[in-house]
Structure 1
Amino acid sequence: MLVAIVGPMFAGKTTELIRRVERQIIAGRSAAIFKPSIDSRYDALSVAAHNGLRLRAVAVPPDESGVREIAEEGAKYDVVAVDEVQFFPPSLAEALDGLADDRLVIAAGLNLDYRGEPFETTMRVAAYADKVVSLTAVCKICGRPATRTQRLIGGRPAPADGPRILVGGGETYEARCRRHHVVPGLREGAGAPRRIGGRRAVG
């Protein structure tokens, strides 16, 4: 079985992954957790949620060699979990789909990048999943359910021409609802801010 946990930053994806893995460990099943080696924000040797919850993990390169390691090492366990799947190449989806034939696989990742565009690997994993858990955060501006991740530079929305991948936490990102997600320079219709009465809604 393959379970995909998707949503923006600060939605509790890693917390949910840890909760599900711990339940399996308590039941006596062997488990392995993998994470991309570039994600060392809180602990290089653990998956760590923003609330401080941690569980031991194996860091692997976010490339094809990392995908192969997950497939080969994961086959030795009853439960396989992968956090931050958006950092891996899309081939990870097929690897996890294959592992899920004989074991429980739990994968967590960002639904959209900071521009509001889908992460290919996360969406591909979700397409293969037997169950998709879609989580929301709380919009930092208005308190409504947030489905998007706002990148900030000096406290202001980052422009669309920035790098797609930039590892960071609360100092760099905020959860935002659709209305308050702002990306200067983004073309209309691709996650751009909505316009209400001819004026852009920014806050």
Structure 2
Amino acid sequence: MHAITNSGWVEVITGSMFSGKTEELLRRLRRAEIAGQEVAAFTPAVDDRFGETTLGSHAGRTWEATVVDDTADGVQTLPERLNGEQVVAVDEANFFPDELVAVCQDLAADGRRVVVSGTDQTFRGEPFDPVPQLMAVAEYVEKFQAICTQCGEPATRNQRLIDGDPAHYDDPTIMVGAEESYEARCRNCHVVERE
């Protein structure tokens, strides 16, 4: 993937939900560990689906991670939380603020391999910052697709559902008692209700 030059770089793993982003992140971390590299993994405080201090994939694989506040101040603490690790992983980058881009750039400039995973689109099909910004400055970008739950085509969109129906474009929250879920969908099957 990368010639050994003792320089740092940024890798971005992106795509829709259910496309295997975290699974790929964990695969890269396992390979780094096999190569004898020390790894530090970080996850946003807002994402506790697999346990508070765990990166987890839908396939059931996990990795211990340090929880970081999903604020500008929280992101800026990443470098001081390191203890010499050569590989720095950040999962669910879409939940962090734009300051993550500068932090990743600084870590790479310091000679570290920075591996970032996160979805690049909101449920509306719009850029989900800071992932698109990270894609622009990264040395390596890999975009994964899931399988559309409606037609079986490659899925690149995140379909937000409220009580089983497509979410309204202008409604970022849900009513109390409503059930929120997500599906992977292709461009043709992705629906965002507008008035």
Query: What is the CA-CA distance between 1:72 and the residue it aligns to?
Result: 2.2
Question: Is it true that 1:184 corresponds to 2:167 in the alignment?
Answer: no
Seen in structure 2, the aligned counterparts of structure 1 residues 120 and 138 have a Cα distance that, compared at 3 Å, is same
Cα offset, 1:164, TM superposition = 7.3
Aligned-residue sequence identity (percent) comes to 43
- Aligned residue pair count: 181
1:76 deviates by 2.7
Tell me if structure 2 keeps the 8 A contact 1:152–1:172.
yes
> Residue 137 of structure 2 is aligned with which of 125, 128, 137?
128
Give structure 1 stretches of 5+ with no counterpart: 166-170, 187-203
**Structure 2: any 5+ residue segments left out of the alignment?**
1-8, 175-179
For the aligned residue pairs, the C-alpha RMSD in angstroms reads 1.5
Answer yes or no: is the 8 Å Cα contact 1:96–1:105 preserved in 2.
Answer: yes
Alignment partners' CA distance in 1, 2:161 and 2:83: 40
Is the 2:39–2:87 contact (alpha carbons within 8 Å) kept by the matching residues of 1? yes
Residue 34 in structure 1 maps to residue 42 in structure 2: yes
1:1-203 to structure 2, matched below 5 A, reads 1-74=9-82, 76-101=84-109, 102-163=111-172, 172-185=181-194
Q: Is the 8 A contact 1:34 1:57 kept in 2?
A: yes
CA offsets 1:37-72 (integer angstroms, 9 cap, x no match):
110112111101111111110111000122112132
Cα-to-partner distance string for 1:124-151 (whole Å, 9 max, x where unaligned)? 1111100001100000000000000000
Which 4+ runs in 1 deviate beyond 4 A? Answer: none
How much does 1:75 deviate?
Answer: 6.6
Q: Distance in 1 between matches of 2:165 and 2:32?
A: 42
Answer yes or no: is the 8 Å Cα contact 1:152–1:173 preserved in 2. yes
Q: Matched residues in 2 for 1:71 and 1:124: separation? A: 20
State the partner residue of 1:200.
none
Residue identity in the other structure for 1:160: Y
Residues 76 and 99 of structure 2 are in contact (CA less than 8 Å); yes or no, is this contact kept in structure 1? Answer: no
**Could you state the TM-score of these two structures normalised by the residue count of structure 2?**
0.89
Q: Secondary structure at the match of 1:69?
A: coil
